[in-house]
Structure 1
C-alpha cells in the first residue's frame, strides 16, 4: 500500500453558506443535492477510468463532504433523535440494495443519516478514495475526520448501522495495515472518540471486539498501542483512550473479563509499555554537570529543562495510572514486565557502576521515580527491586547504604534517596533497613531490655537535648525537682521559645501522621520476647541472603577515593544503615552544610517512627547500650564538645556567626523565589545545571523556621552560597590571600555553620521526643 505515502496538494473551494435554523425537509433536500453532485463527480471519474482523476474533482468532492457534514451537525443540533434502530439497515441486514427515501415521519435515526445509510454514501466514498492514487491519503484523512464528528455528535445508535459501521471498520483496517504520519492525528482523535463512546455504552463493545477470531482482536485498542509513548497532544489522546479501555476491561462482567484476557495475553500492550520505558531511559542524560553545592534532587524546573526526562515521566505516570485502573491480569503482567524488563536489566546496572558522576545521576533519577509513583502496587515493585536485586552477590540496597559514607555529592544524593525511602512508612523497607537488626535487642544491655517500652513521663530526654543548645553550658544538667516548663523557660530565650513551639507543632503533625501510617503494620516492634522469637519475615520474597555478609559489604569500600569512612568497622548489632548514619553524623563538624542539613533531616524523620525499638534507640537516655554501641545522645554530646572547642579557637567567632546567619537567611530568601535552571545537553547527553538554591519543594520547614527568625536581611552578593561565605570580605584583596589562609577560613565557616545546624537539630529532636512521650501517655489512657 505504498500509495498511502502519496498526498496531493491543492486548495479547497470555500464552502457555501449553511442553512441555519432550517426545517428538516430543507436540510434534507440541500444534503441530497450535495450528495448527488459528489456522486456525479465519482461516476464521471469511473467513466474515464483510463485517465487520472483531476485535482479539481477531488477538491470539489471534499467541499461537498464538508457541506454534508455541516448539514448533519445542523440537524443534530436542531433535534434530539429518539426511536428504535432501523430494521432496514442494521448489522443483521444482509441486503445492500439502496432503499427509497423514507417519508419525513418514518425516520429511524434522522432524515439525513437515514439517507446516508440507505444509499451507502460512506461506503461509496471509501471505495472511490482507494482508487484515486495520489489523492487517497487526503481523502482518507477527511473521512477519519468525518467519522470522528459523526461519532461524537450523533446518536450512538449510528454505530449499530451497517452503512456506517462497515466502511468505518474497513478504514480502521487500512490504518492497521499501514498508517502514514499524515493520518496519525486524525486516527488517534477518532479512536479517542470511539473509546469515550464505548466507556459510555459498554454494549457497543461487541461491535469492535471480535472474540470469534483466533486470536481475538480489538482493533480500536491495538491501533492505539504504537502511540503510547508519543509526546504532545497525540500521545496524551492515545493514553487517555487506552485508560478508558482499561477501565472498561476492569468492570466485573463476563465480556469485560474476556477483554482483559485479550489485553494481557493477545496484545503487545504490556511489553511495548515496559520496553518503551527502557528506551526512554536510555536517552536520558548520563551526567548532570555543574550543579550547585546544595543540589541533591531533581525538581520540576529540572524536568522542564530536560525534555527526555519529561518524556520518561509521562510514560512512568501512565504506567502508574494503568496499574490503578486496569484488569488484574493486565496489571500483574505489566508489573512483571516493569520489574524484569526495565528495573532489573536497566536500572540495576546503572546503579552499580564505577563512574561516580553517573552513579549520582542514576540515584537522583531513581529518587525522582519513587516520588512520582503513587499507586501502591507499583511502589511495591520499586521497593521489591531495591530490597531483593543483587549485583555481583551484593544486595542493591546494601550497596546504596554504603554510599552514605561517600564524598559530598554522592553522599548528599544518597541521603536524600533514603529520606524518600523512609517517607513511605513501609514496614518491609524499615524491617530491611532497621528492625531486623534491632529485633534481637543485642545492642541493649540485658538488664535494660525490659525498659524499651518505658514512657518518658517527665520529658527528661527533651530537657537533656535542650541543654545541648548554644544558650546553655556544655553538659549542663537539669534539676529534676523543676517542672519541664520551668526548665524550658530557663534554658531558652523568648524568641527561641517561639521557635521551639513551631518545632513542637511540626513534631506533633509528623508523629501523628507516621503513627497513622503504621497502624497496618504486622508487628509492633516493641522489643518483647515474643516478637524477637518470631520466625516470620514481613518482607516477602526477599533474597535469601538479605542480611548480607559483612565481608561482601566491605568489599565495596575500595581504595577508589569514593568513600570517606574507609577505616570504620560496621557493627552487626544495629545494622549498616544506622551505623552509616551515625558515623556520618559524627563527622558533622567537617561535613559540608548541605550534607548536614539532609543528614539531620533523615535522623529526625527516623525519630518520628512510633515503634519502641527505634524510638528508644534514638531518643531514650535511660537505656544502657552495649559498650560497642554509642547512643545518639552520646554522639550529640561529643559533637557539642568538639564544636565548642572549634568555636573557642576562632578569634572572630561573633563575626563569623553573623555571617553564617546571613548565609542561612539569604539561602532561605532564595529558596522562596523561583529557581532559574539553565541546562544544556551535549552530544554525549551531559546536561549542565546551574541553580543557586534548591526549589521550594526541597525546603526543610523546621530549619526554615530558624532561618526566618532573623528577619529580612539583604541577600548576599553573587547569589550568596557556601563558597561566597567562605571568601574574605569584599573590601579585602582576594588575590593577596594565600591558599592556606583560604582553607583555614573555610574550615572556620564550616565549624560555625555546623554549630548552627547542630543547635537547631537538637531542638527538633527535643520536640519530637516530647511529642512521642505525649503520644505514649495518651495510648495508656483507657478509652471511654
Structure 2
C-alpha cells in the first residue's frame, strides 16, 4: 500500500480539517457534490477490469476520500446548527446502500484488497465518530461492517491496517458504552465441532492487538477495558469473556512480557523511577499491560475478575516471578545477586502499580502465604536486608513500598506480630504503652540529640514560632469546625479525619531560608505524614496500644496436633480468592483472628517461644537494666559502644525448648534481637547503628523506612522506636539508644 502514500490523498484530510462549516458549508452544494463523487466511484466499480485494476482502485480511493471530507463537514455543520436541510449526505449513503456495494467490490480487488479495506475502515471511523447515535443500528451500516470485521478473524494484518482496525473498534466500544442496548447486534453466531455459539466480534479482534506497542496497543487496551466494564452490566458479554480466551491471553501475555525484561540493572538503580520505565521499551510495555490487567480486575464482572486473578496467580506470579526472586545463580558472566536485585526491583514496581481493588491482594497473597519448599517469599526477601549492596538497597525499597500500603495484615506480618506479646519490654513496663506522657518526653529527648551544626535552624524556628505566637497565629493551622470543638486537627481526643489532609495550610516560614535551615518545613512534612497515615489506617481492627497475653501451649498440644493445624491452614490458603487473606482482620479483635488470616500464620511460631521468653521476663531487673546503665554512660565511652551492644543484641544461641512427656524442661538461652522484634526492625536498627560507615544512599533509604514506621498509629511500635523511657530487654536496642551513640 506504499503507492497510496505518494498520492494526493492527504489533501482531502487537510481540507476537512481546514474547512469551517460556518463559512465553507452550503447544504445543497455539499449534498450534490457527495452524490456526484459516489456516482463516479460507482461507475468505476461497475466498469472495473482486472488489467486496469490499479487505476480503478486509485480512482475509487480518491472519491472515498472526498466522500469522507463531505461527511465530516456536514457533521460539523449540524453540531453548530447551521442547517436544517433534510436531504443529507448520510441519508444518501444509507439509502443507496453505498457501504455494502463497496464491500462487495473490495472482495474482487485481489492484491489491492487490503488497500480498499483500509479506506473502508477510515470511512467507518468517520461515520462512527460523528454519527454513531444515528447509524449504529441501521442495517445499511451494520451489515457491511460486520462482514468487514469478520474478515479479520483469522488474519494477520499489516501494521497500518491493524492500527486502523483497532481505531474503529475503539470508536465502536465508546459508542456502545453510551448505548449498551445495541450490544446484542455485535454477537455473531459461529459454528464449531461443539455446535453453535455466540461470539462477540469486537473482543475477538481486540485480543490480537492488546499486547502491541505504541498507539495500536494502547487503543486496543482502552477498548477492551470498556468491554470489561460493559461485562459487569451485560451477562451475555461476561459469559463470553469468561468462557473465551480473554483472561488466558492477558495472563500469558504478561508472563511473556516479563521474560523479555533485562536480567540485570545498573548498579546505581535501587528503585525504578518513571524515567527508568520510559527509557526501557520492554519495561514500558510490561507496566502498561500490568496496569491494564489491574484495571480489568477493577471494572469487570466478578466472575471475570476471579478467573483473571487465578490465572495471573497460577500462570505468572508462582511460575514466573517466584523463581526469578528465588534464583541463586546468575548467567555465565553474572552473579546471582544482580539478577535477584533486578527481580526484586520489578516486584517493588509491580506493588506500586497495582491497587487494592485490582491485583494487590493476589500479589500480597503470593508474597506472604505461598511457600516454595516450605519457605515464604517474604522471609527470603527479609534476609537480603543485610549489607550495603544493591540487593540490600532494593530490599529496603521493597520494604518501604510494603509499609506505604498501610495494610494491617502486612504490618502484622512484618512487625507487629513480634511485638504483640510484649517480650521486647520488661514486665513492669508493658502497661505504660497507652500512656501519652512517655511520648511527649520522647520528643524532648530526640530534640536533645540535635547536632550542633543544626542548632541554628532550630533556634531560627523557635524564634519564628514565638513571633507567630505574639500575632495569635498557629504554627500548623487547620480550618475550624462550626461546633468549635476541633482544635489544631484534634477532635474529642482524636484526629478529626474528614477531609483533613486537604485542609492543612502549611506555612513554611521564611522563603529566604534554605530547606536545610527551614526546620519548620520538616515539622510540617512530618505532621502531614502522621495525619495521612492515621487516616489511611482508620479501618484497622485494632489500635495496637497494648500487649496481648498469648495462650500457653499445654503438654496436651502435641506435635501431631500442631502439624494438623498447619496442614489445615495451608489448605485454606492454597487458592487465592478475592476475599481471602486481607479482609479477615476487619471484624475481629487482634487476639482472635480468623484461622486463614496472615496473623494466624505466625501465632504458632510465637507460642513456641513464649515459654522460653517467660523465664527472661521473670528475671527483669527493672530500673537497673542495661538500658538505664546506658542512659547515663559517659560520652567518651561511645566509641566502642555500638559495636559492643550489637554484638550482644544480634548474637544467636541455638538452644530451643524441649518437651518431655509429663514434664517440660526448658534449656536456658538468650534470645537474639531478631527473634524478639523481628528481622525487619533488627536489620533497620543495625543499619542505623552503621550510619557513619554507610553510604548516603543507604542512610537515606533507612531513614525513610524508619520514619514511615514511626508515623503509623501503633503505640506498640512507636514505644519501641521513639520512647527512651521504656525499659527494654537487655538484648533489644532502641532507636534512641542507637542514635545517641552516633
- For residue 449 of structure 2, what is the aligned residue in structure 1? 468
Q: Note the C-alpha offset of 1:527.
A: 1.9
**Is 1:522 aligned to residue 541 of structure 2?**
yes
Separation (CA, whole Å) in 1 of partners of 2:47 and 2:7 = 20
- Segments of structure 1 that go 5 or more residues without pairing to the other structure are 1-5, 83-103, 473-484, 486-493, 551-563, 641-784
Give the conservation status (yes or no) of the 8 Å contact 1:7–1:138: no
Q: Note the C-alpha offset of 1:463.
A: 2.6
Pick from 238, 242, 245: which aligns with 2:227?
A: 245
The DSSP-based 3-state class of the residue aligned with 1:175 is coil
Pick from 125, 140, 159: which aligns with 1:148?
A: 125
- For residue 352 of structure 2, what is the aligned residue in structure 1? 371
Pick from 531, 542, 551: which aligns with 1:512?
A: 531
The DSSP-based 3-state class of the residue aligned with 1:180 is coil
Note closer, same or farther for the CA distance 1:539–1:215 as it changes in structure 2 (3 Å cut): farther
Map Cα deviations across residues 70-127 of structure 1 (whole Å, 9 max, x no partner).
3333333444799xxxxxxxxxxxxxxxxxxxxx9996xx543333333322212211
- For residue 733 of structure 2, what is the aligned residue in structure 1? 630
The DSSP-based 3-state class of the residue aligned with 1:54 is helix
Separation (CA, whole Å) in 1 of partners of 2:452 and 2:3 = 83
Note closer, same or farther for the CA distance 1:235–1:495 as it changes in structure 2 (3 Å cut): closer
The DSSP-based 3-state class of the residue aligned with 1:624 is coil
Give the conservation status (yes or no) of the 8 Å contact 1:7–1:135: no
- For residue 500 of structure 2, what is the aligned residue in structure 1? none
**Is 1:31 aligned to residue 34 of structure 2?**
yes
Which residues in structure 2 correspond to 1:761-772 (within 5 Å)? none
- For residue 259 of structure 1, what is the aligned residue in structure 2? 237
Separation (CA, whole Å) in 1 of partners of 2:132 and 2:451 = 77
Q: What is the number of equivalent residue pairs in this alignment? A: 566
- For residue 182 of structure 2, what is the aligned residue in structure 1? 204
- For residue 632 of structure 2, what is the aligned residue in structure 1? none
Q: Note the C-alpha offset of 1:625.
A: 2.4
Question: Could you say which structure has the greater relative contact order, defined with CA pairs below 8 angstroms and 6 or more residues apart?
Answer: 1
Note closer, same or farther for the CA distance 1:624–1:166 as it changes in structure 2 (3 Å cut): same
Note closer, same or farther for the CA distance 1:73–1:607 as it changes in structure 2 (3 Å cut): closer
Separation (CA, whole Å) in 1 of partners of 2:28 and 2:150 = 36
Note closer, same or farther for the CA distance 1:423–1:467 as it changes in structure 2 (3 Å cut): same
Pick from 163, 167, 172: which aligns with 2:149?
A: 172
Q: Note the C-alpha offset of 1:541.
A: 5.2
Note closer, same or farther for the CA distance 1:539–1:112 as it changes in structure 2 (3 Å cut): farther
The two structures have a TM-score, normalised by structure 1, of 0.66
Pick from 77, 101, 116: which aligns with 1:139?
A: 116
The DSSP-based 3-state class of the residue aligned with 2:272 is coil
Q: Note the C-alpha offset of 1:510.
A: 1.7
**Is 1:184 aligned to residue 162 of structure 2?**
yes
- For residue 536 of structure 1, what is the aligned residue in structure 2? 592
- For residue 596 of structure 1, what is the aligned residue in structure 2? 699
Note closer, same or farther for the CA distance 1:211–1:460 as it changes in structure 2 (3 Å cut): farther
Map Cα deviations across residues 497-520 of structure 1 (whole Å, 9 max, x no partner).
965544432322222212111110
Note closer, same or farther for the CA distance 1:106–1:402 as it changes in structure 2 (3 Å cut): closer
Q: Note the C-alpha offset of 1:586.
A: 3.1
Map Cα deviations across residues 168-191 of structure 1 (whole Å, 9 max, x no partner).
100000012314114101101111
Give the conservation status (yes or no) of the 8 Å contact 1:297–1:364: yes
Separation (CA, whole Å) in 2 of partners of 1:455 and 1:567 = 30
- For residue 271 of structure 1, what is the aligned residue in structure 2? 248
Note closer, same or farther for the CA distance 1:497–1:331 as it changes in structure 2 (3 Å cut): closer
Map Cα deviations across residues 370-401 of structure 1 (whole Å, 9 max, x no partner).
22334543222222221112233211111111
The DSSP-based 3-state class of the residue aligned with 2:700 is helix
- For residue 279 of structure 2, what is the aligned residue in structure 1? 305
Q: Note the C-alpha offset of 1:224.
A: 1.0
Pick from 356, 360, 368: which aligns with 2:341?
A: 360
Separation (CA, whole Å) in 2 of partners of 1:548 and 1:401 = 20
Separation (CA, whole Å) in 2 of partners of 1:111 and 1:439 = 77
Separation (CA, whole Å) in 2 of partners of 1:584 and 1:79 = 70
Separation (CA, whole Å) in 2 of partners of 1:105 and 1:596 = 72
Separation (CA, whole Å) in 1 of partners of 2:450 and 2:134 = 77
Which residues in structure 2 correspond to 1:192-591 (within 5 Å)? 192-210=170-188, 214-251=196-233, 256-263=234-241, 265-289=242-266, 291-292=267-268, 295-354=269-328, 355-456=336-437, 459-471=440-452, 500-529=519-548, 535-537=591-593, 540=596, 542=598, 546=602, 568-569=651-652, 570=672, 571-591=674-694
Give the conservation status (yes or no) of the 8 Å contact 2:209–2:220: yes
CA RMSD across the alignment: 3.5
Q: Note the C-alpha offset of 1:248.
A: 2.4
The DSSP-based 3-state class of the residue aligned with 2:436 is coil
Pick from 32, 37, 46: which aligns with 1:43?
A: 46
Note closer, same or farther for the CA distance 1:315–1:539 as it changes in structure 2 (3 Å cut): farther
Q: Note the C-alpha offset of 1:348.
A: 1.1
Separation (CA, whole Å) in 2 of partners of 1:249 and 1:603 = 44
Separation (CA, whole Å) in 2 of partners of 1:471 and 1:73 = 73
Note closer, same or farther for the CA distance 1:197–1:149 as it changes in structure 2 (3 Å cut): same
Q: Note the C-alpha offset of 1:278.
A: 1.2
Give the conservation status (yes or no) of the 8 Å contact 1:231–1:311: yes
Structure 1 stretch 180-189 or stretch 208-217: which is displaced more? 208-217
Note closer, same or farther for the CA distance 1:629–1:538 as it changes in structure 2 (3 Å cut): farther
Which residues in structure 2 correspond to 1:656-735 (within 5 Å)? none
Give the conservation status (yes or no) of the 8 Å contact 2:31–2:88: yes
Separation (CA, whole Å) in 2 of partners of 1:385 and 1:52 = 64
Note closer, same or farther for the CA distance 1:72–1:504 as it changes in structure 2 (3 Å cut): closer
Separation (CA, whole Å) in 2 of partners of 1:81 and 1:539 = 65
Structure 1 stretch 275-284 or stretch 323-332: which is displaced more? 323-332
Q: Note the C-alpha offset of 1:418.
A: 0.7
Separation (CA, whole Å) in 2 of partners of 1:510 and 1:24 = 63
Q: Note the C-alpha offset of 1:359.
A: 1.0
Give the conservation status (yes or no) of the 8 Å contact 1:195–1:244: yes
Give the conservation status (yes or no) of the 8 Å contact 2:37–2:67: yes
Separation (CA, whole Å) in 2 of partners of 1:583 and 1:81 = 71
- For residue 569 of structure 2, what is the aligned residue in structure 1? none
The DSSP-based 3-state class of the residue aligned with 1:215 is strand
Note closer, same or farther for the CA distance 1:539–1:433 as it changes in structure 2 (3 Å cut): farther
- For residue 59 of structure 1, what is the aligned residue in structure 2? 58
Q: Note the C-alpha offset of 1:130.
A: 0.8
Separation (CA, whole Å) in 1 of partners of 2:25 and 2:448 = 88
Q: Note the C-alpha offset of 1:337.
A: 2.2
- Segments of structure 2 that go 5 or more residues without pairing to the other structure are 329-335, 454-465, 467-512, 552-588, 607-645, 653-671
Separation (CA, whole Å) in 2 of partners of 1:259 and 1:270 = 13
Q: Note the C-alpha offset of 1:495.
A: 11
Give the conservation status (yes or no) of the 8 Å contact 1:395–1:548: no
- For residue 670 of structure 1, what is the aligned residue in structure 2? none
Separation (CA, whole Å) in 1 of partners of 2:678 and 2:199 = 54
Note closer, same or farther for the CA distance 1:342–1:266 as it changes in structure 2 (3 Å cut): same
Structure 1 stretch 441-450 or stretch 621-630: which is displaced more? 621-630
- For residue 710 of structure 2, what is the aligned residue in structure 1? 607
- For residue 491 of structure 1, what is the aligned residue in structure 2? none
Give the conservation status (yes or no) of the 8 Å contact 2:409–2:598: no
